Chains A and B, each alone.
Chain A
Amino acid sequence: MIDLGPHAAFIIWAYAGVTLAVGALIALRIGQSRRIERRLSALEAQGVRRRSEKSA
């Protein structure tokens, strides 16, 4: 890595913060998605169906 100069700390903190925040965002989104998937499949296992999926 090139020498980051006298203010290296600020640069590192900035990128660290962005990485943390973006990582948290991605993790949250994926986590939410998985949680809802799980609850959906739990319900479908119980046999609850949408009105449009009911047969006859």
Chain B
Amino acid sequence: MSIDTTPRQSWWTRIAHPGQFTAWTTPWLKPLAVVTVLLFALGLWFAFFNSPEDYQLGDTVRIMYVHVPTAWLSQFIYAAMAVSAVGTLVWRHPMADVSMKAAAPLGATFTALALFTGSLWGRPTWGTFWEWDGRMTSTLVLLLIYLGIIALWRAFEDQLRAARVVAIFTLVGAVNIPIIKFSVDWWATLHQPASVFRPDGPRMPGSILTPLFVMLFAFTFLFFTLHLMGMHTEIKRRRLINLERRAAERGGAA
């Protein structure tokens, strides 16, 4: 009687191999994209055709349907990067490197969009395009951190070496972000008159919550789709560099 002794690799180890990961996750791309499109369609329909204007904000509340999701994404993506950074440093999981790198530009874009939409919301609501309040300022600082991380990636020639260093910096940033948020809030309350109108706040009736949640999910799925695509591209890019190096060696030896 023979027992099957082939070692069973856990899925964790299996997806560490780039080829495996790509093969495994490619079938998810199309469904993710479809779900994203559907959610956006639904969200936009709700936003423009099936929800009331806010009794205080008027129609500009519709900007909230893009502002809140982008702001949420800006923080969610950093959290994803931080988790990947832990994966790089603690487990040296190759997919963690790729995940970090693919997420950074997405995070920067959505943070910039959060600032953009927030600014356009602020103009009719508060009267100015920019207000140095706690939330906007913290988001601006977050954008600067994202851009710094992207600059750091590009400064390294060897991307494998870069990954660990960027991971360390990402985690230092992660620890700092709550501190920054706290300090900016402290600063803002000192220099602001006490009565600042905070539009994205309290009571939100269901008719406004629905489009908000749909758009939130739509944007999140958009991120998942783009992130997965980015990871595949990055894996292929690394493979390309390897192959080009081997082709150069062969060309040199010939």
Residues of A bordering B, CB below 8 Å: 1-8, 10-11, 13-15, 17-18, 21-22, 25-26, 29-30, 32-33, 36-37, 39-40, 43-44, 46, 48, 50-51
Contact = CB atoms under 8 A, between A and B. Distances in A.
A interface majority secondary structure: helix
B59 A40 contact: no
Interface string B113-143: 1001100110110000000000000000000
Nearest to B232: A33
Number of chain B interface residues as a range:
35 or more
Contacts of B239: 40, 50
Contacts of A37: 236
Interface stretch (B147-155, B174-182, B196-204, B244-252): B244-252
A28 to B, nearest CB: 8
Contacts, number: 93
Interface of B: 48-49, 53, 58-60, 62-63, 66-67, 70, 105-106, 109, 112-113, 116-117, 120-121, 123-124, 222, 226, 229-230, 232-233, 236-237, 239-240, 242-244, 246-247, 250
A46 B67 CA distance: 49
A1 B120 CA distance: 21
Contacts of A26: 226
Contacts of B222: 22
B243 A11 contact: no
Contacts of A4: 59, 62
